[in-house]
Amino acid sequence: MKYMLIMRATDETYAAYADADFGQIIESMGRFNDQLIQAGVLVAAEGLDDAAQGVVVDYSAETPVVTDGPYGETKELFGGFWILDVASKEEAVEWAKRAPLAGPGSKAEIRRVTSIDELPQDNEWIQKERAWRESTGQL
């Protein structure tokens, strides 16, 4: 089963890391990623650029509204992720407990990634996606 560990942080988290040594952050993340690789569970991992460089598309109105970052006060911001292929949610939780995420407001959300096999296989769009995944070596 695949699980996504989502790194989340608050404004307080970012303030706490403002003067942190970026080299040390990279080193601790690198060590953790290496443990995931050595265990054979890492599928993908990425960090995200500063939210000030992003945009939000809000679909609440009839016409979508695009807002450039930064967004003012941030209660929780998605900062990056790992996708792990593990045997259970409990194993994903154990890996998340080891992640080098510390400080006020720092969290990891764990969500199972659904498989294309769980979707209706007689659906035209699922069949097209399956064919694309097969053609790109993803299945």
What distance in Å separates the CA atoms of residue 81 and residue 45, rounded to the nearest whole number? 6
**Which amino acid is located at 138 in the chain?**
Q
**pTM of the predicted model over 0.75:** yes
At the topology level, CATH places domain 2-135 in: Alpha-Beta Plaits (3.30.70)
pLDDT for residue 71: 66
Question: Residue 84 in contact with residue 41, Cβ under 8 Å?
Answer: yes
Q: Where are the domains of the chain?
A: 2-135
Q: What is the pLDDT of residues 93-118, one digit of tens each?
A: 999 999 998 888 889 999 999 999 99
CA-wise closest residue to 29 among 91, 106, 85, 87: 106
What distance in Å separates the CA atoms of residue 48 and residue 17, rounded to the nearest whole number? 16
Extract the tokens encoding 5. 């560990």
